[in-house]
Every structure is written in structure tokens, then in C-alpha cells.
A and B are shown apart, each in its own frame.
Chain A
């Protein structure tokens, strides 16, 4: 079920250039024992964010007040491993509405699209440009424009377009999800099932 609609987002961004961040890091398995979708943000990146006593680790970006925003700019191969949608719930619950990376794992990307957190795939060069710009000025604003399919560094105007299929784009913009679509196909699905 999609959380909300997505059209144009302007925000500062949080950089996490580490590569191969798997969903076990985003939300460790021991925090998956819930039967509802709320509250996962508290344990987002739990073991990178807190030590064993529960004290914030100073060197982790989410504990650095310099950086904030609704956009997470992540390293290559973000969201690999477990299919747990809880990873996206945790990112959303924490406040992220968009994740940007030069390379996403497949299941994670689908999970993002299904609940309305926009995954934006950019070139490695544009990723470097974003990391550099955010490091130079943590208050620099980034615009993610879904109708135009562009991501722009507002200070310089540096921009890149990104791909998303028309169907998913339309869903994101209107807050629809696949079940809304599939329910309207009930007769065709029933016919197909009966032929199996």
C-alpha cells in the first residue's frame, strides 16, 4: 500500500557512499518481529548508528547533525540481500522519501516503488558530483522532479535525467498501487487461473 504521492521533492540530502549496503544493515533481522508497518525508523541502520550499549556512534552520518533531508544519496549496489520490505519502511519512517544511487538491487528497488519511496538511478559520475557537492555544502538543495524525470543540484543547475517506466511513474504521482490495478483485472485473472 503506497504511503503517499510523489511529484517534485526539494530537499537537502544525506550522503552514505558506502558500497554494497545490504538490507540487513538497513534494518537488522532482529527488528523484524512486528506485525504492523510503523516504528521501523528507530532501528534504521541500527548497528551502524548505535553501539552495543545503545549510544549513538559519532562517525555515522545519521548521527551527524550537519546532514539532514528527505533524500538519501547512497553508494553503489544499495539494498542488496534480503527481500525484507521493512528496509524501505524503515527509510520512510525515518523521513526519507527518495533514495539515489548509481546501482540498486532489484528487489529493494521494486519494494521502494511499491510503497512510494522513489528510487532514482543516476550515473556514477553524477553520484560523485552529488557526494562532492554535499560534502562541500551540507545545506545544498537537490531537486527530484518525477514528472520531468530529472535530478538537479539547484546551486549549480547540474542535472541528469533518470528512467522509470510510465506505469510506475503514474502510480507514484497518484499514490496508486498495483493492487488497485490488479483488482480491476479480476475477470481476466479468473479466466487465466481456470485454464491452469
Chain B
């Protein structure tokens, strides 16, 4: 019998036709849209004189450019307001489910999909956002697309893409104290580089991955794109089923039993061949932080910035340009450096477990004088839980400022910008130049490391601050 990977099984089941010497016509089960990458797609549909083929397969929410204060009022920024209004107008016109600002399930698109149980094993999911890979944590094929493809999905529920190569990354063993799934993914990217998985779809496997919660798995799959991968996925298991059971859109009753029986078949066959296999040991991972301007430029918090030894040409020039932007020098230690901002949020680490982790660690402490601390829940549901569990009180007592849900300072499309030249240690996913505001200097880390930095005001190893 043919041995297939999980990726093969889901991909092949969604190919309607393979174009000779061309891409596959690939069927999409669920499509998420937001206000920034959808308006031109809708505009083009109108120009072509066609409508939305299957409106019930698309779900919308405004997240990228929304303000994180006064969400009950009219959006002040004219252009942001226009995009959000356009989304409302398009959803109303075509009958697309919209989780609008202020509604019970508003939030970052990759946070609300799983929360609602829309995201399920075996599905194909796309969105005009590269962090769509998040949904792969459920054993789905999920990836980001451009606006032309958003238009294709709206018009035909299909896109045309060639099948990616397959990579398996296995992580065996047990994580050390103070080490989280964010550290796992920052570690992997630092080892293989920001382009190390370009052209591949990655399956994460191994005991260290299997032991993670769904939210921790989402953090890993979320950042697959940061090593260039089309997406990442993890085989569904009892943890997945337990998470989904009872969710609004999860199957119920007999349908649930049937679905679980099918989901249990969604795993890579023993002996299936990957184009590339990598194996790492969980014990080797320590709390990580980035020092440069792409997510591959990461080291352990206690480490030193690599020197230029062995680099030449544009490789060396690009590296030094990056360090110059960050205000760092080759060979320096990062630990102890002063920080100005901390940001807890985003589709990477804006879920309730992240907020719980930060609250647990800062409880009874005060943020350092030099730190401005923002905490932005990934969704209204997360915000509600944070209030109910008393986490908001703990965080506010520690000097954190809680904002309303949205993408916020992860990409700084709204007013949540880090000022030029300032250092932010952030739970988000990208440390690109200007990502958190023009001139902002971003260092990516886990929620625990961010909590430690908030307390000390400096780059800090969380294991030293919080002890046991």
C-alpha cells in the first residue's frame, strides 16, 4: 500500500484537477477574510460582473487596522474606517458571516477561527494573511494567499497552486523550565534560517510537539511562514479533539463521533517519504530572543550576537545593515540591554494561555520604570476570560495597559506604534525593520521572557527572575 504523509492525504483529497504542466485546481473548505486584503478582491468581482460562489464558506472579521481603544465609537482614522466599512458592506451584500467590532467573537482572524470551532482537522483553509498557517495546528492545510487568490476563492472556492515539497521537523524530549513553544519555533528558525523551509510544507512531529496544548501548537504553526514554509501542520490527536468538542461550529452528536473517527485517520503513515527531515532535541532549547531584522536572527537570551566570521559580499553587508538598524554590534551579549516597550498579543501569542502565563509571572511585581507595557488580547473571548479569571487586575496592578482586541502593535497599522529607535520585546512574529512602527526595534520572544523583561526593564532570562 502507498505510504502517504498527512499533507499528501489532505492535499490530494482537495484536488479537483491537475493542470498538465501546471498547478492543481485546489478546493478550499474555509476562507477567512479581513478588511485589508479583501476590498480589491471584491472590487474586481464587481468589475468582472460575478458574485461570491459559496458565501457560507467565508468568514470575516476586521482585525489588522482596527483601533484597540474605544472600539464602540466611530473609527477616527479615515482610511481605516473606510476599509472596515467596506468589509461590512461587502459582507452584507454577499451574505458573509461577519464578526464585527464589539461583537462577542470579534478578534484576530487566526484566534477566532479556532475559538469558534470553524478550524477543523483535514480542512483546507486560506486567508489573505501569511499567518493563516496557525490553523495547521489542528491537522489542516492552511496557508496565506494574495488578494488575487482571495478573489479566486470568493469567485470559485478554488485556487490554482502547485503542491509544495514535504518536510518533517521532529522535536523529541522534554522542554526545560521556562521554555515555551515560542522558544521551540524561534529555535528552529534560528537553525534553518528565515528561508530554510521555502518551497516546503512542514509537518511538526515528535514527543515534544505532541505534549503541547492546542494554543502552544498554534504558536508553532503560526510562525511556519517565518522560515519561508507555505505552512505547517500537526497531526490531530486527543488534545485536538478535546479542544474542539462543544465549540460552536464543531460537529455535534453522531456527527461528532463520525468526524472524530475520520480525524483519527489523519496522520502520516509509517514509512512515508518526506523530501526533507530534520530532528531536534527539546533539551537543547533555552529561552530565545531575536537580535536582528528577520526571525531567523535568533539566539538564546544568554547568548551573544554572531560575529561576521565566514560572511562575505551582500550576505555580510545585509547582516551589518540589520545590526546597524538594531543598534547592536557583532559579538555583543544581548542580556542586560535596556528595553523601552513590551508587547503581549498577536495571532502568535495573544491567546488566554499566553495572558495567563504573563499574569502568573508578574503577579505581585511591578513593571520597571523605563517600560511601557501593552497587553492586547487576541479576541473578545480572550479578553472576557482574562477579566473573569482576574488576570486583568493582576496585570493592571503590575502596570500593564490592557487594550481591546486586534492585530495592534504586531504590524502597527493602527495607532499602536513603537516610536523610532525604541526597543520593544514582543510576543509577535516579525522583527522586520519598521514592523512595529517606523524606526522601531523589535526583539521577538516568548510571553515568559516578555514578562521577565517587563519586570527588570532589561533583556532578561526568565529563569533567573522567577526562579521556581
Contact = CB atoms under 8 A, between A and B. Distances in A.
Interface of A: 1, 17-20, 22, 24-25, 28-30, 32-37, 47, 52, 75-77, 80-86, 88, 103-107, 110-111, 114-115, 165-168, 177-179, 181-183, 185-186, 188-189, 192-193, 196
A195 B27 CA distance: 12
Given A114-B148, A178-B152, A182-B152, A75 B318 contact: yes
B158 interface: yes
Given A35-B43, A84-B37, A115 B148 contact: yes
Given A80-B294, A83-B146, A179-B151, A32 B413 contact: yes
Given A34-B79, A107-B225, 4 more contacts: A20-B194, A83-B129, A83-B144, A105-B195
17 contacts: A17-B314, A20-B194, A22-B294, A24-B411, A24-B433, A25-B434, A32-B413, A35-B86, A76-B195, A80-B294, A81-B432, A84-B37, A84-B146, A165-B162, A166-B22, A168-B22, A185-B25
Q: 8 nearest interchain CB pairs?
A: A167-B22, A33-B79, A85-B146, A114-B148, A111-B146, A83-B144, A166-B21, A35-B39
B147 A85 contact: yes
A192 B48 contact: no
A29 B146 contact: no
Interface residues on B, range: 35 or more
A77 B25 CA distance: 27
Nearest to A32: B36
A106 B65 contact: no
B199 interface: yes
B198 A105 contact: yes
Given A34-B79, A166-B22, A192-B27, A106 B149 contact: no
Contact of B158 (A19, A24, A189): A189
Contacts of B149: 110, 114, 178
B21 A167 contact: yes
Contacts of B195: 20, 76-77, 80, 103, 105
Interface string B76-88: 0101101100100
B146 A77 contact: no
A47 B438 contact: yes
B240 interface: no
Interface centre among A34, A81, A115 (most CB of B within 10 A): A81
Contacts of A110: 145-146, 149, 161
Interface string B132-168: 0000000000001111110110011111111010000
B319 to A, nearest CB: 8
Contacts of A114: 146, 148-149
B289 to A, nearest CB: 19
B8 to A, nearest CB: 18
Contacts of B225: 81, 107
B145 A28 contact: no
Interface string B35-62: 0110110011001101001100000000
A80 B83 contact: no
A179 B22 contact: no
A93 B240 CA distance: 45
Contacts of B293: 20
A182 B294 contact: no
B144 A107 contact: yes
Contacts of A47: 433-434, 438-439
B321 A18 contact: yes
B279 interface: no
Interface centre among A18, A37, A110, A177 (most CB of B within 10 A): A110
Given A30-B413, A35-B86, A165-B22, A1 B151 contact: yes
Contact of A182 (B44, B155, B162): B155
B23 interface: yes
A106 B149 CA distance: 14
Contact of A178 (B21, B128, B159, B321): B159
A119 to B, nearest CB: 13
